[in-house]
Protein backbone atom coordinates (compact mmCIF):
# COMPACT_ATOMS: atom_id res chain seq x y z
CA UNK A 1 0.00 0.00 0.00
CA UNK A 2 1.30 3.42 -0.96
CA UNK A 3 -0.27 6.56 0.50
CA UNK A 4 0.58 9.94 -0.96
CA UNK A 5 -0.42 12.76 1.36
CA UNK A 6 -0.37 16.08 -0.48
CA UNK A 7 -0.02 18.97 1.96
CA UNK A 8 -1.21 22.57 1.70
CA UNK A 9 0.04 24.86 4.50
CA UNK A 10 -2.67 27.25 5.63
CA UNK A 11 -1.45 30.66 6.81
CA UNK A 12 -4.87 32.24 7.34
CA UNK A 13 -8.59 31.40 7.14
CA UNK A 14 -11.27 33.96 6.29
CA UNK A 15 -14.81 34.14 4.91
CA UNK A 16 -15.49 35.15 1.33
CA UNK A 17 -17.65 34.72 -1.76
CA UNK A 18 -16.19 31.34 -2.69
CA UNK A 19 -14.54 28.43 -0.92
CA UNK A 20 -11.01 28.30 -2.28
CA UNK A 21 -7.34 28.06 -1.40
CA UNK A 22 -4.64 30.32 -2.83
CA UNK A 23 -1.17 31.32 -1.62
CA UNK A 24 -1.72 29.93 1.88
CA UNK A 25 -5.11 31.64 2.33
CA UNK A 26 -8.17 29.44 2.83
CA UNK A 27 -11.40 31.27 2.01
CA UNK A 28 -14.75 29.79 3.06
CA UNK A 29 -18.18 30.68 1.68
CA UNK A 30 -19.90 30.59 5.05
CA UNK A 31 -23.45 30.53 3.74
CA UNK A 32 -22.73 27.65 1.36
CA UNK A 33 -20.80 25.69 4.01
CA UNK A 34 -23.61 26.04 6.56
CA UNK A 35 -26.23 25.04 4.00
CA UNK A 36 -24.23 21.89 3.31
CA UNK A 37 -23.90 21.06 7.02
CA UNK A 38 -27.56 21.72 7.71
CA UNK A 39 -28.69 19.21 5.12
CA UNK A 40 -28.70 17.04 8.24
CA UNK A 41 -32.21 17.62 9.58
CA UNK A 42 -31.03 16.94 13.13
CA UNK A 43 -28.89 20.10 13.22
CA UNK A 44 -31.30 22.85 14.22
CA UNK A 45 -28.98 25.86 14.31
CA UNK A 46 -25.36 26.39 13.37
CA UNK A 47 -22.66 28.97 12.88
CA UNK A 48 -19.01 28.89 11.82
CA UNK A 49 -16.49 30.90 13.87
CA UNK A 50 -12.76 31.08 13.22
CA UNK A 51 -10.31 30.97 16.14
CA UNK A 52 -6.63 31.70 15.56
CA UNK A 53 -3.53 31.12 17.72
CA UNK A 54 -2.86 33.98 20.11
CA UNK A 55 -6.43 35.28 20.20
CA UNK A 56 -8.18 35.75 23.54
CA UNK A 57 -10.76 33.06 22.81
CA UNK A 58 -12.00 30.10 24.85
CA UNK A 59 -13.74 27.25 23.01
CA UNK A 60 -16.06 24.96 24.98
CA UNK A 61 -17.64 22.39 24.80
CA UNK A 62 -15.42 20.89 22.08
CA UNK A 63 -16.57 17.46 20.93
CA UNK A 64 -14.29 16.56 18.01
CA UNK A 65 -11.42 17.80 15.83
CA UNK A 66 -10.80 16.83 12.21
CA UNK A 67 -8.20 17.83 9.64
CA UNK A 68 -9.84 19.09 6.42
CA UNK A 69 -9.01 16.65 3.63
CA UNK A 70 -10.20 15.26 0.32
CA UNK A 71 -9.45 12.16 -1.71
CA UNK A 72 -8.36 13.02 -5.22
CA UNK A 73 -10.28 10.05 -6.64
CA UNK A 74 -13.53 11.28 -5.08
CA UNK A 75 -13.86 8.55 -2.44
CA UNK A 76 -15.07 9.56 1.04
CA UNK A 77 -12.41 10.78 3.48
CA UNK A 78 -13.92 8.53 6.16
CA UNK A 79 -14.96 5.29 4.46
CA UNK A 80 -17.91 3.54 6.00
CA UNK A 81 -18.83 6.77 7.83
CA UNK A 82 -19.25 9.72 5.46
CA UNK A 83 -19.65 7.48 2.43
CA UNK A 84 -19.48 3.94 1.16
CA UNK A 85 -17.02 1.30 2.23
CA UNK A 86 -13.83 1.91 0.27
CA UNK A 87 -10.19 1.07 1.14
CA UNK A 88 -8.08 3.63 3.00
CA UNK A 89 -4.31 3.98 2.99
CA UNK A 90 -3.66 3.76 -0.74
CA UNK A 91 -3.64 6.46 -3.41
CA UNK A 92 -3.56 10.24 -2.96
CA UNK A 93 -5.22 12.34 -0.27
CA UNK A 94 -4.90 16.13 0.00
CA UNK A 95 -4.74 17.80 3.43
CA UNK A 96 -5.02 21.37 4.69
CA UNK A 97 -2.33 21.62 7.36
CA UNK A 98 -2.19 24.02 10.33
CA UNK A 99 -5.98 24.00 10.61
CA UNK A 100 -8.76 21.84 12.00
CA UNK A 101 -12.53 21.68 12.00
CA UNK A 102 -13.94 21.59 15.54
CA UNK A 103 -17.39 20.35 16.56
CA UNK A 104 -18.54 22.72 19.32
CA UNK A 105 -21.79 22.56 21.29
CA UNK A 106 -23.89 25.75 21.17
CA UNK A 107 -25.66 25.09 24.46
CA UNK A 108 -24.86 21.69 25.91
CA UNK A 109 -21.80 19.71 26.89
CA UNK A 110 -21.14 16.19 28.11
CA UNK A 111 -18.59 14.03 29.88
CA UNK A 112 -16.42 13.55 26.80
CA UNK A 113 -16.23 17.20 25.74
CA UNK A 114 -13.38 19.58 26.46
CA UNK A 115 -12.01 23.11 26.37
CA UNK A 116 -9.41 24.93 24.24
CA UNK A 117 -7.82 28.28 25.08
CA UNK A 118 -6.22 29.99 22.11
CA UNK A 119 -3.82 32.05 24.23
CA UNK A 120 -2.38 32.34 27.74
CA UNK A 121 -1.43 29.54 30.10
CA UNK A 122 -4.30 27.34 28.92
CA UNK A 123 -2.94 27.34 25.37
CA UNK A 124 0.02 25.27 26.58
CA UNK A 125 -2.34 22.51 27.71
CA UNK A 126 -3.72 21.43 24.32
CA UNK A 127 -2.15 21.02 20.90
CA UNK A 128 -5.14 22.62 19.19
CA UNK A 129 -4.24 26.12 20.39
CA UNK A 130 -1.51 26.01 17.72
CA UNK A 131 -3.99 25.55 14.86
CA UNK A 132 -6.40 27.85 13.07
CA UNK A 133 -9.67 26.30 14.19
CA UNK A 134 -12.78 26.37 12.02
CA UNK A 135 -15.43 26.00 14.72
CA UNK A 136 -18.79 24.51 13.77
CA UNK A 137 -20.90 25.82 16.67
CA UNK A 138 -24.25 24.09 16.53
CA UNK A 139 -27.24 22.65 18.34
CA UNK A 140 -29.38 19.63 17.49
CA UNK A 141 -32.79 18.09 18.11
CA UNK A 142 -31.27 15.10 19.92
CA UNK A 143 -33.51 15.68 22.93
CA UNK A 144 -33.14 12.09 24.14
CA UNK A 145 -29.64 12.91 25.38
CA UNK A 146 -29.99 16.65 26.08
CA UNK A 147 -29.60 16.29 29.85
CA UNK A 148 -27.47 13.15 29.83
CA UNK A 149 -23.96 13.42 31.22
CA UNK A 150 -22.71 11.18 28.41
CA UNK A 151 -23.86 11.99 24.90
CA UNK A 152 -23.28 10.40 21.50
CA UNK A 153 -23.15 13.85 19.87
CA UNK A 154 -23.72 12.15 16.51
CA UNK A 155 -25.22 15.05 14.55
CA UNK A 156 -22.47 17.49 15.56
CA UNK A 157 -19.63 15.03 15.03
CA UNK A 158 -20.96 13.99 11.61
CA UNK A 159 -21.58 17.64 10.75
CA UNK A 160 -17.94 18.45 11.49
CA UNK A 161 -16.78 15.55 9.32
CA UNK A 162 -18.93 16.74 6.43
CA UNK A 163 -17.67 20.31 6.90
CA UNK A 164 -14.08 19.08 6.86
CA UNK A 165 -14.71 17.29 3.56
CA UNK A 166 -16.42 20.37 2.11
CA UNK A 167 -13.46 22.57 3.07
CA UNK A 168 -10.94 19.94 1.97
CA UNK A 169 -12.39 19.84 -1.54
CA UNK A 170 -11.01 23.36 -2.04
CA UNK A 171 -7.63 21.77 -2.81
CA UNK A 172 -8.80 18.70 -4.70
CA UNK A 173 -7.61 19.93 -8.11
CA UNK A 174 -4.51 21.81 -6.88
CA UNK A 175 -0.86 20.76 -6.86
CA UNK A 176 0.37 20.16 -3.27
CA UNK A 177 3.08 22.31 -1.72
CA UNK A 178 4.81 19.13 -0.62
CA UNK A 179 4.12 15.43 -0.65
CA UNK A 180 4.56 12.84 2.10
CA UNK A 181 4.77 9.24 0.93
CA UNK A 182 4.04 6.34 3.24
CA UNK A 183 4.79 2.84 2.03
CA UNK A 184 5.83 -0.33 3.82
CA UNK A 185 7.07 -3.34 1.95
CA UNK A 186 5.20 -6.59 2.64
CA UNK A 187 6.67 -8.12 5.81
CA UNK A 188 7.95 -11.27 4.11
CA UNK A 189 9.50 -9.34 1.20
CA UNK A 190 11.78 -6.88 2.97
CA UNK A 191 15.47 -6.63 2.18
CA UNK A 192 18.16 -8.28 4.26
CA UNK A 193 19.35 -5.04 5.86
CA UNK A 194 15.84 -4.20 7.10
CA UNK A 195 15.22 -7.72 8.35
CA UNK A 196 18.37 -7.56 10.47
CA UNK A 197 17.05 -4.53 12.40
CA UNK A 198 14.93 -4.86 15.56
CA UNK A 199 11.32 -5.44 14.53
CA UNK A 200 8.73 -3.17 16.18
CA UNK A 201 4.94 -3.23 16.18
CA UNK A 202 2.66 -0.42 17.34
CA UNK A 203 -0.29 -1.57 19.48
CA UNK A 204 -3.19 0.90 19.67
CA UNK A 205 -6.04 0.51 22.15
CA UNK A 206 -8.78 2.95 21.03
CA UNK A 207 -11.83 3.57 23.19
CA UNK A 208 -14.32 0.73 22.72
CA UNK A 209 -15.82 0.02 26.14
CA UNK A 210 -19.42 1.12 25.61
CA UNK A 211 -21.59 -1.86 24.71
CA UNK A 212 -24.33 0.39 23.31
CA UNK A 213 -23.42 1.58 19.84
CA UNK A 214 -22.80 5.24 19.07
CA UNK A 215 -20.20 6.10 21.71
CA UNK A 216 -17.07 4.24 20.65
CA UNK A 217 -14.37 4.90 18.07
CA UNK A 218 -15.31 3.52 14.65
CA UNK A 219 -13.06 1.51 12.34
CA UNK A 220 -14.31 1.73 8.74
CA UNK A 221 -17.65 2.57 10.34
CA UNK A 222 -17.56 -0.56 12.53
CA UNK A 223 -18.01 -0.12 16.27
CA UNK A 224 -14.70 -1.08 17.87
CA UNK A 225 -16.58 -2.75 20.73
CA UNK A 226 -17.47 -5.47 18.21
CA UNK A 227 -13.92 -6.13 17.03
CA UNK A 228 -11.05 -8.32 18.16
CA UNK A 229 -7.40 -7.26 17.78
CA UNK A 230 -6.64 -6.78 14.09
CA UNK A 231 -3.41 -6.27 12.17
CA UNK A 232 -3.50 -3.11 10.04
CA UNK A 233 -1.30 -1.21 7.67
CA UNK A 234 -0.38 2.10 9.38
CA UNK A 235 -1.46 3.98 6.25
CA UNK A 236 -5.07 3.11 7.03
CA UNK A 237 -4.94 4.98 10.33
CA UNK A 238 -3.31 8.02 8.70
CA UNK A 239 -5.92 8.01 5.95
CA UNK A 240 -9.25 8.11 7.78
CA UNK A 241 -9.98 4.45 8.52
CA UNK A 242 -10.68 5.25 12.18
CA UNK A 243 -12.66 8.10 13.72
CA UNK A 244 -12.95 9.26 17.31
CA UNK A 245 -15.88 8.43 19.56
CA UNK A 246 -17.61 10.49 22.22
CA UNK A 247 -16.98 8.38 25.33
CA UNK A 248 -13.76 9.44 27.00
CA UNK A 249 -12.63 11.95 29.64
CA UNK A 250 -11.45 14.61 27.27
CA UNK A 251 -7.76 15.06 28.03
CA UNK A 252 -7.37 11.34 27.24
CA UNK A 253 -9.35 11.45 24.00
CA UNK A 254 -7.82 10.62 20.63
CA UNK A 255 -9.54 13.01 18.22
CA UNK A 256 -9.92 12.08 14.59
CA UNK A 257 -7.33 14.79 13.82
CA UNK A 258 -4.84 13.02 16.11
CA UNK A 259 -5.29 9.72 14.32
CA UNK A 260 -5.06 11.34 10.87
CA UNK A 261 -1.68 12.73 11.94
CA UNK A 262 -0.58 10.08 14.47
CA UNK A 263 2.93 11.25 15.48
CA UNK A 264 4.04 7.83 16.75
CA UNK A 265 3.25 6.20 13.41
CA UNK A 266 5.10 8.95 11.55
CA UNK A 267 8.15 8.60 13.81
CA UNK A 268 8.18 4.83 13.32
CA UNK A 269 8.05 5.42 9.58
CA UNK A 270 11.05 7.78 9.82
CA UNK A 271 13.11 5.13 11.58
CA UNK A 272 12.00 2.24 9.37
CA UNK A 273 14.99 0.77 7.53
CA UNK A 274 17.40 2.89 9.58
CA UNK A 275 17.15 1.80 13.21
CA UNK A 276 14.06 -0.45 13.21
CA UNK A 277 11.95 -2.72 11.05
CA UNK A 278 8.44 -1.24 11.46
CA UNK A 279 6.05 -4.15 11.06
CA UNK A 280 2.75 -2.26 11.28
CA UNK A 281 -0.13 -1.68 13.68
CA UNK A 282 -2.10 -4.07 15.85
CA UNK A 283 -5.42 -2.35 16.46
CA UNK A 284 -6.68 -3.77 19.73
CA UNK A 285 -9.64 -2.78 21.90
CA UNK A 286 -10.65 -1.89 25.44
CA UNK A 287 -13.16 -4.11 27.21
CA UNK A 288 -15.33 -4.31 30.31
CA UNK A 289 -15.24 -7.94 31.48
CA UNK A 290 -11.91 -9.37 32.64
CA UNK A 291 -12.31 -12.40 30.36
CA UNK A 292 -12.59 -10.03 27.38
CA UNK A 293 -9.49 -8.14 28.47
CA UNK A 294 -7.46 -11.33 28.81
CA UNK A 295 -8.67 -12.63 25.44
CA UNK A 296 -7.71 -9.41 23.66
CA UNK A 297 -4.29 -9.42 25.33
CA UNK A 298 -3.70 -13.01 24.20
CA UNK A 299 -4.65 -12.10 20.63
CA UNK A 300 -2.23 -9.14 20.63
CA UNK A 301 0.68 -11.14 22.02
CA UNK A 302 0.16 -14.03 19.61
CA UNK A 303 -0.09 -11.67 16.68
CA UNK A 304 3.04 -9.72 17.65
CA UNK A 305 5.02 -12.92 18.16
CA UNK A 306 3.81 -14.42 14.87
CA UNK A 307 4.83 -11.24 13.05
CA UNK A 308 8.31 -11.58 14.52
CA UNK A 309 8.18 -8.49 16.72
CA UNK A 310 11.16 -7.91 19.00
CA UNK A 311 9.53 -4.87 20.57
CA UNK A 312 6.21 -3.10 20.86
CA UNK A 313 4.91 0.38 21.64
CA UNK A 314 1.60 0.13 23.49
CA UNK A 315 -0.82 3.08 23.77
CA UNK A 316 -4.20 3.24 25.52
CA UNK A 317 -6.96 5.80 25.01
CA UNK A 318 -8.19 6.56 28.50
CA UNK A 319 -7.52 5.60 32.09
CA UNK A 320 -9.23 3.85 34.97
CA UNK A 321 -10.88 0.65 33.77
CA UNK A 322 -8.84 0.69 30.50
CA UNK A 323 -5.68 0.44 32.62
CA UNK A 324 -6.57 -3.22 33.17
CA UNK A 325 -6.50 -3.84 29.39
CA UNK A 326 -3.27 -1.85 29.09
CA UNK A 327 -1.46 -3.85 31.78
CA UNK A 328 -2.91 -7.21 30.65
CA UNK A 329 -1.59 -6.51 27.16
CA UNK A 330 1.75 -5.35 28.59
CA UNK A 331 2.12 -8.60 30.57
CA UNK A 332 1.11 -10.80 27.63
CA UNK A 333 3.59 -9.13 25.29
CA UNK A 334 6.44 -9.38 27.80
CA UNK A 335 5.59 -13.03 28.49
CA UNK A 336 5.79 -13.66 24.74
CA UNK A 337 9.30 -12.19 24.68
CA UNK A 338 8.27 -8.88 23.08
CA UNK A 339 9.94 -5.98 24.88
CA UNK A 340 7.27 -3.35 25.42
CA UNK A 341 7.15 0.39 26.11
CA UNK A 342 3.81 1.83 27.17
CA UNK A 343 2.42 5.32 26.66
CA UNK A 344 -0.41 6.55 28.88
CA UNK A 345 -1.52 9.32 31.19
CA UNK A 346 -2.07 8.95 34.93
CA UNK A 347 -4.88 9.54 37.41
CA UNK A 348 -2.92 10.33 40.56
CA UNK A 349 -5.39 12.67 42.29
CA UNK A 350 -5.25 16.44 42.61
CA UNK A 351 -2.29 16.15 44.98
CA UNK A 352 -0.44 13.74 42.67
CA UNK A 353 -0.05 11.19 45.44
CA UNK A 354 -2.39 8.38 44.35
CA UNK A 355 -1.52 5.21 42.42
CA UNK A 356 -1.03 6.32 38.78
CA UNK A 357 -2.84 3.38 37.12
CA UNK A 358 -5.69 1.27 38.49
CA UNK A 359 -3.63 -1.87 37.78
CA UNK A 360 0.16 -2.15 37.95
CA UNK A 361 2.64 -4.89 37.11
CA UNK A 362 6.37 -5.39 37.63
CA UNK A 363 6.59 -6.36 33.95
CA UNK A 364 5.34 -2.90 32.95
CA UNK A 365 8.68 -1.32 33.75
CA UNK A 366 8.94 1.10 30.80
CA UNK A 367 6.07 3.60 30.64
CA UNK A 368 6.02 7.11 29.22
CA UNK A 369 3.70 9.33 31.28
CA UNK A 370 1.70 12.04 29.49
CA UNK A 371 0.51 13.80 32.64
CA UNK A 372 -1.99 13.65 35.50
CA UNK A 373 -5.64 13.98 34.47
CA UNK A 374 -6.57 15.26 37.94
CA UNK A 375 -4.14 18.18 38.06
CA UNK A 376 -5.95 21.36 39.12
CA UNK A 377 -5.76 24.28 36.71
CA UNK A 378 -6.84 27.91 37.19
CA UNK A 379 -7.22 30.07 34.11
CA UNK A 380 -8.22 33.73 33.69
CA UNK A 381 -11.19 34.90 31.65
CA UNK A 382 -10.92 35.24 27.86
CA UNK A 383 -12.35 38.11 25.83
CA UNK A 384 -14.59 35.79 23.83
CA UNK A 385 -16.20 32.40 24.45
CA UNK A 386 -17.02 30.23 21.44
CA UNK A 387 -19.81 27.86 22.47
CA UNK A 388 -21.03 28.16 26.03
CA UNK A 389 -18.86 28.55 29.12
CA UNK A 390 -21.61 27.34 31.46
CA UNK A 391 -21.30 23.87 29.91
CA UNK A 392 -18.01 23.44 31.75
CA UNK A 393 -19.82 23.16 35.07
CA UNK A 394 -23.48 22.65 34.36
CA UNK A 395 -23.27 19.54 32.24
CA UNK A 396 -20.59 17.54 33.98
CA UNK A 397 -17.68 17.79 31.57
CA UNK A 398 -14.96 15.51 32.88
CA UNK A 399 -12.83 17.81 35.02
CA UNK A 400 -15.48 20.49 35.53
CA UNK A 401 -18.20 20.82 38.14
CA UNK A 402 -21.19 22.92 39.11
CA UNK A 403 -20.09 23.35 42.70
CA UNK A 404 -17.42 22.13 45.12
CA UNK A 405 -17.59 22.74 48.88
CA UNK A 406 -13.98 23.89 48.94
CA UNK A 407 -13.29 25.20 45.44
CA UNK A 408 -16.68 26.59 44.50
CA UNK A 409 -17.99 26.40 40.90
CA UNK A 410 -15.71 25.70 37.94
CA UNK A 411 -16.99 28.84 36.19
CA UNK A 412 -16.50 32.03 38.21
CA UNK A 413 -18.56 35.21 37.91
CA UNK A 414 -15.69 37.05 36.22
CA UNK A 415 -15.35 34.37 33.53
CA UNK A 416 -12.24 32.75 35.01
CA UNK A 417 -12.31 28.99 35.52
CA UNK A 418 -10.94 26.30 37.81
CA UNK A 419 -10.93 22.77 36.47
CA UNK A 420 -8.96 19.56 36.23
CA UNK A 421 -6.62 18.73 33.37
CA UNK A 422 -9.34 16.21 32.39
CA UNK A 423 -11.19 19.07 30.68
CA UNK A 424 -8.41 20.16 28.32
CA UNK A 425 -9.35 18.93 24.85
CA UNK A 426 -7.06 16.01 23.90
CA UNK A 427 -4.53 17.57 26.26
CA UNK A 428 -2.45 14.51 27.15
CA UNK A 429 -1.77 13.42 23.55
CA UNK A 430 -0.90 9.77 24.16
CA UNK A 431 -0.49 9.36 20.40
CA UNK A 432 2.76 11.21 20.56
CA UNK A 433 2.87 15.00 20.61
CA UNK A 434 2.32 15.95 24.21
CA UNK A 435 3.97 19.24 25.17
CA UNK A 436 4.43 18.08 28.76
CA UNK A 437 7.75 17.08 30.29
CA UNK A 438 8.85 15.69 33.63
CA UNK A 439 10.19 18.06 36.27
CA UNK A 440 13.05 16.96 38.48
CA UNK A 441 13.20 17.99 42.14
Q: How far is CA 64 from CA 6, 180, 400, in A?
A: 23, 25, 18
Report DSSP state, residue 56.
Answer: S
Domain span at 184: 2-423
Considering only CA atoms, which of 270, 268, 267, 331 is closest in space to residue 301? 331
What are the pLDDT digits (tens) for 247-296?
888 999 999 999 999 999 999 999 999 999 999 999 999 998 999 999 99
Neighbours of 413 (CB within 10 A): 7
Residue pair 16/30 in contact by the 8 Å Cβ criterion: no
What are the pLDDT digits (tens) for 202-235?
999 999 999 999 999 999 999 999 999 999 999 9
Residue 441 domain-assigned (yes or no): no
Residue 109 domain-assigned (yes or no): yes
pLDDT value, residue 437 = 73
pLDDT value, residue 50 = 98
- Read off the pTM: 0.97
Residue 10 domain-assigned (yes or no): yes
Residue 153 domain-assigned (yes or no): yes
Residue 235 domain-assigned (yes or no): yes
d(CA 198, CA 170): 42
Residue 127 domain-assigned (yes or no): yes
Q: Residue 426: left (phi > 0), alpha (psi -120 to 50), or beta?
A: left
d(CA 86, CA 77): 10
Q: pLDDT by residue for the chain (441 residues), tens digit each?
A: 999 999 999 999 999 999 999 999 999 999 999 999 999 999 999 999 999 999 999 999 999 999 999 999 999 999 999 999 999 999 999 999 999 999 999 988 888 899 999 999 999 999 999 999 999 999 999 999 988 889 999 999 999 999 999 999 999 999 999 999 999 999 999 999 999 999 999 999 999 999 999 999 999 999 999 999 999 999 999 999 999 999 888 999 999 999 999 999 999 999 999 999 999 999 999 998 999 999 999 999 999 999 999 999 999 999 999 999 999 999 999 999 999 999 999 999 988 889 999 999 999 999 999 999 999 999 999 999 999 999 998 877 889 999 999 999 999 999 999 999 999 999 999 999 877 776 666
Residue 210 domain-assigned (yes or no): yes
Report DSSP state, residue 176.
Answer: P
List own/partner pairs for 33-38 with CB under 8 A and 24 or more apart.
Answer: 33/163, 33/166, 33/167, 36/162, 36/163, 36/166, 37/136, 37/138, 37/159, 37/162, 37/163, 37/166
Residue pair 218/242 in contact by the 8 Å Cβ criterion: yes
In this structure, the strands spanning 417-420 and 376-379 are antiparallel
pLDDT value, residue 351 = 87
DSSP 3-state assignment of 159?
helix
d(CA 374, CA 391): 19
d(CA 168, CA 257): 13
d(CA 103, CA 81): 16
Domains of the chain: total:
1
Residue 436 domain-assigned (yes or no): no
- DSSP assignments along 95-158, one per residue: EEETEEEEEEESS---TT-EEEESSSGGGGG-GGGGSEEEEEEEEE--GGGTT-SS---HHHHH
Amino acid sequence: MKLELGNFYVKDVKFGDITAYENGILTINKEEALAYVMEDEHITEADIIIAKPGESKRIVPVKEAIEPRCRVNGNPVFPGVTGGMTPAGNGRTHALKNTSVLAVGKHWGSFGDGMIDMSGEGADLTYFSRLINICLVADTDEEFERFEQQKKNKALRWGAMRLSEYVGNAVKELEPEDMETFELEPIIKRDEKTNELPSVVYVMQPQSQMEESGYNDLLYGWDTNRMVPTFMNPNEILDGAIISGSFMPCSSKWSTYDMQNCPTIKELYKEHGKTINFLGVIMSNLNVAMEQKERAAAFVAQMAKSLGADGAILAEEGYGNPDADFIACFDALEDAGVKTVGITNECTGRDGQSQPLVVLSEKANAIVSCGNVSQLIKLPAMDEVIGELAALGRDGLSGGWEGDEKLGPSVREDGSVILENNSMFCGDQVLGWSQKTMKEF
